[in-house]
Structure 1
Amino acid sequence: MVSIMRPDIATRWTSRNKHIDDCVKAFQLRAWKYENVIEWIPFDRLSNVKEIGKGGFGSVYSAIWLDGIRNVDKIKDDDNDVYKRAREPSSTVALKTLTGSMENNNDFLKEFKSLTKCTLNYNDMLAIYGITQNTQTNEYLIVFQYANDGSLYKYLRKHFSTLTWETKLQMLKDISDNLDTIHRSAFIHVDFHSGNILQDQQSYIADLGL
């Protein structure tokens, strides 16, 4: 016998921005797994925020999320499998903002909605955890999975000579699968290059270039 859990949805929160609140709540209702529930993440629950990348469209930071990433622990109870909701406290995450998001959050929400739609529809994309707002700059930021090895561009410059053909083909498959996910979600990538691909346990397309 398997114990099945419905996603929980926290309701006692607000970003103090109706458009942000409505967006987060809409995706919370679409999540079919506990791990996929999008959250409003108060900025004071993020520590050790460091800038790790910057471009014309915005900046990327690493941070420690004190509450941590949602996961499900499998526990044996006699002959039953019981699944318990849990967190990974002090998880390393990435934060991304778009230039001007404090004045005009339409472009920010467009990017967030597009990425989250791809993530909820398929399991091969970079995980999206929620939205936060820098309390000093008022910029909105997407909170998402941290990729330990950085961009594919930098990764290949450092490791290309030692990569096996098997690894190269697997990376190509990961990227192709992500592109297929984007197309199946009714989007077309318009800024596809190795700087927009992140490398962790697999390769991920991190920016849709919309």
Structure 2
Amino acid sequence: MQNKSFIYYRKSEYGKCADCNEDNTQPAWCISCDPDKATRWTSGNKDIDDCMKSFQLRTWRYEDVIEWIPFDRLSVVEEIGKGGFGSVYRATWLDGIRRKVEKINNGNYKRAREASSIVALKTLPEGSLKELKIYGLTQNSKNRYFMVLQYADSGNLYKFLRTKFQEVNWKTKLKLLKDISYDLYQIHRAGYIHADFHSGNILQDKHLSTTLQSYITDLGLSKNTNENDSEGEIYGVMPYVAPEVLLGQKFTKAADIYSFGVIMSEISTGQRPFDGQNFDIKLAVKICKGLKPEFAPGTPD
């Protein structure tokens, strides 16, 4: 069966849809009926409704639905981070995140949610977070909108290396670098430059897995490669800023890759490059003259 530009198939093993009595298109999910039911809500803001419902109507699986979450279903909201492009909060979502559909007795499937879930809230519209799973949107009593998303339980890379460096072996370090490089590749592939790429904008998460996962976040300063007017603009955390940008040239993909090289050094040594020095014009001049971060002895080639 075809729906606009998408082709989907009904399978008897997925069970019957309770509304149309046809075979489901995914376990316990009918793409003809369930996305429409997911849109029967309102935030009170037509633009928010239209945007979210356009995503909901294209949802292929139960666990991927992005929801409107009433703010009173979030408890113990506390600020855990603040930057130039908004704040991040930790909260408990009383309804819990949707879990992957479970197969039960007789080959049937059961939808499930966690009893309650720790989630992160990101203020909108400042900046954005990439790759972390988005659960929905909410609005507080002051009419401020928040994105509700996966809570990265191991903090950012900068803090993680300060507290856990001695516990991290090279296998884990290389896994983190692989995650980070893949995220950066995806950003560049989409036609964007991050332009504020440093260890404070990389989150670590373990959650239910035993494997640590890294995510690049905070694209508030990102640039479309076709609309890049950043010449003469200098911002970011100095040790990660490419020399040509410090000299007034535009941010480029190559500048992001330079920042990635600095992050490689940081993962190698456990220290932010040039720690102990003032991040001032003197350091900028040294970087432009060729000062580079060092790697720890024993770092793999």
Give the TM-score normalised by the residue count of structure 1. Answer: 0.81
> Larger relative CO (CA 8 A, sep 6+): 1 or 2?
1
Give distance in 2, aligned partners of 1:84 and 1:200. 27
Within-5 A mapping of 1:172-183: 172-183=177-188
Equivalent residue number for residue 203 of structure 1: 214
Counterpart residue type for residue 215 of structure 2: Y
Within-5 A mapping of 1:28-39: 28-39=56-67
Does the CA contact (< 8 Å) of 1:72 and 1:84 recur in 2?
Answer: no
SS at match of 1:25: helix
Counterpart residue type for residue 40 of structure 1: W
1:20 equivalent to 2:48? Answer: yes
Give distance in 2, aligned partners of 1:185 and 1:31. 21
Does the CA contact (< 8 Å) of 2:39 and 2:56 recur in 1?
Answer: no
Give distance in 1, aligned partners of 2:49 and 2:185. 30
Give distance in 2, aligned partners of 1:159 and 1:171. 13
Deviation at 1:36, TM superposition (A): 1.4
- CA gap 1:181/1:29 in 2 versus in 1, 3 angstroms: farther
Equivalent residue number for residue 6 of structure 1: 30
Equivalent residue number for residue 197 of structure 2: 192
Deviation at 1:69, TM superposition (A): 0.5
Equivalent residue number for residue 120 of structure 2: 94
SS at match of 1:130: strand
Which among 132, 137, 148 is matched to residue 138 of structure 2? Answer: 132
1:46 equivalent to 2:74? Answer: yes
Looking at CA atoms only, which structure, 1 or 2, has the larger radius of gyration?
2
Which among 139, 147, 170 is matched to residue 152 of structure 2? Answer: 147
Structure number with the higher strand fraction is 1
Unmatched segments (≥5 aa) in structure 1: 99-106, 119-124
Deviation at 1:133, TM superposition (A): 0.8
The total of aligned residue pairs comes to 187
Deviation at 1:66, TM superposition (A): 0.9
Does the CA contact (< 8 Å) of 1:65 and 1:89 recur in 2?
Answer: no
Deviation at 1:97, TM superposition (A): 0.5
SS at match of 1:6: coil
- CA gap 1:19/1:177 in 2 versus in 1, 3 angstroms: same
Equivalent residue number for residue 109 of structure 2: 83
Percent identity over paired residues = 63
- CA gap 1:83/1:205 in 2 versus in 1, 3 angstroms: farther
Deviations 1:87-125 (A, max 9, x none): 112110000104xxxxxxxx45xx56xx5xx6xxxxxx2
Deviations 1:32-83 (A, max 9, x none): 22211111111011011011111222111000111111122322434x3x33
Counterpart residue type for residue 116 of structure 2: S
Does the CA contact (< 8 Å) of 1:73 and 1:86 recur in 2?
Answer: yes
Deviations 1:112-141 (A, max 9, x none): 6xx5xx6xxxxxx21011111111x22111
- CA gap 1:30/1:53 in 2 versus in 1, 3 angstroms: same
Give distance in 2, aligned partners of 1:205 and 1:190. 12
- CA gap 1:164/1:129 in 2 versus in 1, 3 angstroms: same
Give distance in 2, aligned partners of 1:177 and 1:153. 19
CA RMSD of aligned residues (A): 1.9
SS at match of 1:173: helix
Does the CA contact (< 8 Å) of 1:182 and 1:188 recur in 2?
Answer: yes
Give the TM-score normalised by the residue count of structure 2. Answer: 0.58
